[in-house]
Structure 1
Amino acid sequence: MFGWSSRQAGSSDVAEVGEPRSDDQAAPPRERTGRRLRRGPVLVLVALLVLALLPVLVARIYVIPSGSMERTLHGCPGCDNDRVLVDKVTYRFSAPEPGDVVVFTLPDSWTSSELQVPSGSGNPVLDAVRRIGALAGLTSHTADETVYVKRVIAVGGQTVACCDQRNRIIVDGVTVDEPYLYFLPEAGPLRQAAFGPARVPDGELWVMGDSRNDSVDSRAVGNGPVPLSQVIGKAMFVVWPFDRIGWIR
């Protein structure tokens, strides 16, 4: 005859194994609190490090410093200038192309500039605050960084000239359609000044402003093409002011 075991349901000869307890759970409450307090500064430092590296390695917001890219991008002294997000990653894997809007530092070879290089205040704390503001896109470029934004018209190996009978740029014998072109009425003739043909050396870019009669760029005497090494990144998106938010084309 078979009989029921006298042991109650749920009992076992093998002891049950519970979930392992972490060091924090096993430690007394006061010790756990101390550990959390010690981790706090470390997490803050890591967060600050990430925030510091993002503008350097990935993307950064820049203030448009002048009106040379009107009406694609807006900027002028005393204005609520556009803030643009600049992608610093794309050009590590591919070269700029004609039509791209690029941000670059002033080449040493350029003798003509539309921007006044700001001088330092002499106060290291104030200069540091301004530098942080520039990284966040709250203020314009600093004394150690003169930044330009222009459109790529031709790349290394191409030949560029101005203009055909309809006042259009010619690249490698082909006219370029530029729907973004703008002429500032008070800046002079509403047409492009003749230049070239000019061959762009390998590893360099021929850049021009969309506000074609109000831009100091590769056409200016003593300037010429911009070395790729001077390019910071590709201007992708207007992030401010609110009524101008959108992709840059």
Structure 2
Amino acid sequence: MYAPAVSEDKITDRPFYRSKGFELLVLIVVGVLVAAGVRTYLLQTFYIPSGSMENTLLLNDKVLVNKVLYRFREPHRGEVVVFQPPVAWGAGPAEQEYIKRIIGVGGDHVVCCDTQKRLTVNGQALDEDYLYPGDAPSDDTFDVTVPAGRLFVMGDHRSDSADSRAHLDSDLGTVPVDRVAGRAFAIYWPVSRWTSLSVPKTFEAVPAPAG
């Protein structure tokens, strides 16, 4: 005897939000929004091409980037941003945009490291629980005062990130704010990793720069 046909969703008894149909719907909705011009003015989708932000962002995750936020305010410490690297960073045509976390903004004094091997910003130590497991805050030492209008950025996977530390000989490794495309605020793909990219609480304790 032949068993009656049963749909794949029936067999696996998966909830709708995890079904292939729902995943396809998400892709269609995002695609329509982008095609309608939202990408040009409000949002940009960006896929993660490397492991430099693990485990906050995994290889091939897709994120949504707010492109208008920084027209109304300056970037904040702890935010994850997409930017075009300075020319001095030597990025090739296949690497037009980077994604990193802001550690210091204009006027901030960023130092590695204190006696407990933590980064400090304006004298306040950062407890970086978002770092890749086993990574130190930095294997390189530095003492940088971030110039006005620029950002000091680092990847969360410090041992696999070519960030501000790798370019200290050029403008102290900092990135001009006007090269920032926007703030990455959410992972939207895969669906199983849907989450917002909030600012870690440790940055709340950082005081304003002296002077």
Q: How high is the TM-score relative to the length of structure 2?
A: 0.71
Give 1:180's aligned residue.
Answer: 130
Same amino acid, percent of matched pairs? 45
Matches of 1:174 and 1:194, distance apart in 2: 19
Letter in 1 for 2:98: Y
- Deviation, structure 1 residue 106: 1.9
Give 1:82's aligned residue.
Answer: 61
- Deviation, structure 1 residue 195: 2.2
- Deviation, structure 1 residue 61: 0.8
- 1:211-230 alignment runs, 5 A limit: 211-221=157-167, 222=169, 224-230=173-179
- 1:80-229 alignment runs, 5 A limit: 81-111=60-90, 117-118=93-94, 146-183=96-133, 190=136, 192-221=138-167, 222=169, 224-229=173-178
Matches of 2:136 and 2:142, distance apart in 1: 19
Q: How high is the TM-score relative to the length of structure 1?
A: 0.61
Matches of 1:190 and 1:99, distance apart in 2: 17
Matches of 1:191 and 1:177, distance apart in 2: 9
Letter in 2 for 1:72: T
Structure 1: which 5+ runs fail to align? 1-47, 76-80, 119-144
Note closer, same or farther for the CA distance 1:233–1:191 as it changes in structure 2 (3 Å cut). Answer: closer
Letter in 1 for 2:48: I
- Deviation, structure 1 residue 165: 2.1
The answer as to whether partners of 1:161 and 1:194 remain within 8 angstroms in 2 is no
Note closer, same or farther for the CA distance 1:206–1:190 as it changes in structure 2 (3 Å cut). Answer: closer
Report the RMSD for the aligned CA atoms in angstroms.
2.2
- Deviation, structure 1 residue 174: 1.3
- Deviation, structure 1 residue 173: 1.3
Letter in 2 for 1:236: F
Deviations 1:199-227 (A, max 9, x none): 10000000000001110000003450000
Letter in 1 for 2:159: N
Name the count of aligned residue pairs.
Answer: 164
- Deviation, structure 1 residue 194: 3.3
